[in-house]
Amino acid sequence: MNILITGGNGFIGSHTIISLREHYPHARLVIADNLTNSTLETFTNLKKLVKEGIEFYNINICNEEEVATLFINYSFNAVIHFAGLKAVGESVEKPLKYYRNNLISTLNLVKYCLIYDVGKFVFSSSATVYGNGESPFIESHSLLPTSNPYGETKAICERILIDVANTNPEFCVSILRYFNPIGAHESGLIGEAPNGIPNNLMPYITKVAKGELETLHVFGNGYPTIDGTGVRDYIHIMDLADGHVAALVNLKPGVNIYNLGTGNGTSVLQLIDTFEKVNGVKIPYKIVNPRSGDLATIYADARKAERELNWNAKRSIEDMCRDAWNFAKNTVTI
């Protein structure tokens, strides 16, 4: 079995490759990644964990010629599409960059899946497609207007995949809407290591814990939540990775949409407190103005994934904090 993993060097993609190897011990896993938000060190460490049957190509999925060459050289059985720009704030500042990258990459992949009869496609979507709806989010909810261009690119990609699958019965699609992945592989060899200043909460916390940043900024404490700070559905990265494998293994004809989350919300201050207690590290923080467009509470209804994929999140918030710190404290910042 040959599986193409776009963005496979990134945070979610790299952990999914480990889960793929566990379920498909003899599969050829082909990574296509242009290293926009990852490094070759991740691939080096992946090879230590996966050992063999893994290949890396430094290509941009927006380049149709490079995509065509990949499909010509391999008889892919499945594609898992992670590649894409994902910083919400940057998408507001540079919307055209996000529309071009995230839409063209998806269009290129779908085109060559149809040309070369690749009938299994797993798409990395996001809870942002739900817009300003009310939690818990359920897959059957009508999608409201998204609050940023990043979320809109995910919603448009979903519509593209749905339309293509409706006219090509042999093209089977699983759309995974996931929430807030944190943590790291238990080995400490791979984890979340974004280039530059982190956009996500956990790598920001670990940089403060390491002394690379002085203070964590908490955006607002006036929300109608348990302590006034935003509540999110944090999911361990390895649970999320296992969810992608479950989606591929149980892929049915047509379009299948699943939330991947825990179904529980944790506030920013609760996450900070747990990180401090589990790891014995103090995280200085200060409250700053809330960000425009942020919702008070976001969490999933993940019962459909449990029912149809036999999948659910097993790891705790404590596990997430422990594994994230285990990776971060052993990572040398360049």
Q: Classify residue 51 by its DSSP letter.
A: -
- The pair of structure tokens assigned to 316 is 């705790």
From the centroid of its chain, how far is CA 115?
27
DSSP bridge partners of 197? none
Alpha helices by DSSP H, listed for the chain, are 11-23, 40-50, 64-73, 88-93, 95-115, 149-167, 201-209, 237-249, 268-279, 303-309, 317-329
Q: Rounded to whole angstroms, how far apart are CA atoms 88 and 91?
A: 5
Omega of the bond leading into 95 within 30 degrees of 0 (cis):
no
Task: Please tell me the predicted confidence (pLDDT) of residue 87.
Answer: 86
- The pTM of this model reads 0.95
Please state, in angstroms and rounded to a whole number, the distance separating the CA atoms of residues 16 and 325. Answer: 20
Active site residues: 150
Looking at residue 334, what is its pLDDT?
A: 45
Asked if residue 267 lies in contact with residue 225, where contact means CB atoms within 8 angstroms, the answer is: yes
CA-CA-CA-CA torsion sign (51, 53, 57, 62) = negative
Question: How many residues appear in the chain?
Answer: 334
Q: Which helix (H) or strand (E) holds 218?
A: strand 216-219
What integer pLDDT is reported at residue 293 of this predicted model? 74
Task: Name the nearest CA neighbour of 181 among 194, 168, 169.
Answer: 194
Instruction: Give CA–CA dist 9/38, Å, rounded.
Output: 6
Whether a cis peptide bond, with omega within 30° of 0, leads into 136 is yes
Over its C-alpha atoms, the chain yields an Rg (Å, rounded) of: 19
- The 3-state DSSP class for residue 6 equals strand
Q: Cα 189–193–198 angle (5° rounding)? A: 155
What is the Cα–Cα distance from 150 to 131, expressed in whole angstroms? 11
pLDDT beneath 50: ranges in the chain: 334
The predicted pLDDT at position 3 comes to: 98
